[in-house]
């Protein structure tokens, strides 16, 4: 891996806020870069591509995979990551997002933020003069889906033409899967109950992206219709962080939306199972399937590191 290779990706200085913002070719370049960085890491080869670079990481939502992958990724690329808890910086005490963006931009080379409000990320990017990476909002989770695409590519050898069925809440994961997988030419079917469907505007944008790139996006209510013949089955928790008060209501609404052995049999014979974690065994996914031979959930979790490194190397 060298700087000339990175220059060909052509993303230096860009923000990473939504997969909708990138072309199919740009996403493919990042996936290939992640594959190369992963292979080199496994071979014991390291490249200090970000030597002397610093990433400021703002967290108002707690995290396991996001924090570890970005922090370790910066270290492996020769850079440094600063963990900035909402409790520890002035943003948590009333300093405005524009002021935070302008100050951090004078001290760090990139800003990663994991928060509740998508508007906060957009405002941060508007005022920052360094790349801003959306590591999760209640609206989108693009860094996770880049890792998902990497995982599918590894296990299936291709992306275009595959069918991915997402079973569950039409949340940030559903939104980013529609954007990313549709744009990469997959047939994406989201199965959600009434009242929990994906945002209509996101769905329309994702459908337009998919049509332009040989894919498709559909939202249905029947999980069996979605799962039929699917190459990839995907799910997420029924109650995300901040929705704990709705947990019991959601359990009732999502009864019948579990990925279990019976639903897996409706998918393609060699289908793989994905889950962004953390998982609630016995709710959105059965323990049997999560721990089964068709589950690649922990490969997917590891790939957060390699996908994050590709994002960091491309932008910084």
Mark the binding-site residues, compressed into ranges: 63-66, 90, 114, 141-144, 172, 236, 240-241, 276-277, 304
Q: Which residue out of 24, 236, 275, 308 is catalytically annotated?
A: 236
* 21 is known as an active-site residue: no
Q: Which residues are annotated as a binding site for carbamoyl phosphate?
A: 63-66, 90, 114, 141-144, 276-277, 304
Question: Which of 76, 144, 153, 207 is the catalytic position?
Answer: 144
Q: CA 219 to CA 108: how far, in whole Å? A: 41
Say which of 175, 207, 276, 308 is annotated catalytic. Answer: 276
Q: What share of the chain is helix, strand, coil (3-state, %, to 5)?
A: 45, 15, 40
The strands making up 132-134's β-sheet, listed across from edge to edge, are 80-85, 54-59, 110-114, 132-134
Dist. CA 148–CA 89, nearest whole Å: 32
Number of CB atoms found within 10 A of residue 2's CB: 8
> Residue 210 corresponds to which tokens in the numbers above?
């998919």
Q: 179 and 209 in contact (C-beta within 8 Å)?
A: yes
Q: Which is the catalytic residue, given 47, 118, 141, 250? A: 141
- Note the Cα 57 to chain centre separation in Å: 16
Catalytic residue of the set 20, 139, 275, 304: 304
Residue 181 annotated among the catalytic residues of the structure? no
276 is annotated as an active-site residue: yes
The answer to whether 159 and 153 have CB atoms below 8 angstroms apart is yes
Instruction: Report how far apart the first and last C-alpha atoms of the chain are (Å, whole number).
Output: 15
Annotated active-site residue in 114, 118, 175, 306: 114
Cβ–Cβ < 8 Å for 237, 195: no
And the tokens for 241? Answer: 């962080």
**H-state helical runs in the chain:** 3-9, 24-42, 65-76, 97-105, 118-127, 142-156, 172-183, 200-212, 223-227, 247-253, 261-266, 287-290, 297-315
| Rg of the Cα atoms in the chain | 19
Instruction: Please give the annotated binding residues for L-ornithine, written as ranges.
Output: 172, 236, 240-241
d(CA 175, CA 18): 10
Catalytic residues: 114, 141, 144, 236, 276, 304
């Amino acid at each position: 891996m060298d700087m000339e290779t990175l220059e060909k990706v052509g993303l230096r200085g860009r923000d990473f806020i939504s997969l909708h913002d990138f072309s199919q070719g740009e996403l493919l370049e990042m996936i290939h870069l992640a594959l190369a960085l992963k292979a080199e890491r496994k071979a014991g080869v390291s490249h200090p591509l970000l030597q002397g670079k610093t990433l400021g990481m703002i967290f108002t939502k707690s995290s396991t995979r996001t924090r570890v992958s970005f922090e370790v990724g910066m270290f492996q690329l020769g850079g440094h990551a600063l963990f900035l808890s909402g409790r520890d910086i002035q943003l948590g005490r009333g300093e405005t997002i524009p002021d935070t963006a302008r100050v951090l931009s004078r001290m760090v080379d990139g800003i990663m933020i994991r928060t509740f409000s998508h508007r906060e990320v957009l405002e941060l990017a508007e005022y920052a003069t360094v790349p801003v990476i959306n590591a999760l909002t209640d609206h989108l989770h693009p860094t996770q889906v880049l890792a998902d695409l990497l995982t599918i590519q590894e296990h299936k050898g291709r992306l275009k033409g595959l069918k991915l069925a997402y079973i569950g809440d039409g949340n940030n994961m559903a939104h980013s899967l529609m954007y990313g997988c549709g744009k990469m030419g997959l047939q994406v079917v989201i199965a959600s109950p009434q009242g929990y469907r994906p945002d209509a505007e996101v769905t329309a944008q994702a459908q337009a992206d998919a049509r332009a790139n040989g894919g498709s996006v559909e939202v249905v209510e029947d999980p069996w219709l979605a799962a039929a013949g699917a190459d990839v089955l995907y799910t997420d928790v029924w109650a995300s962080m901040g929705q704990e008060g709705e947990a019991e209501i959601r359990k009732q609404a999502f009864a019948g939306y579990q990925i279990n052995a019976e639903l897996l049999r409706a998918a393609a014979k060699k289908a793989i199972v994905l889950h962004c974690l953390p998982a609630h065994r016995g709710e959105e996914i059965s323990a049997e399937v999560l721990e089964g031979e068709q589950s690649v959930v922990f490969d997917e979790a590891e790939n957060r590191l390699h996908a994050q490194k590709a994002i960091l190397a491309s932008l910084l």
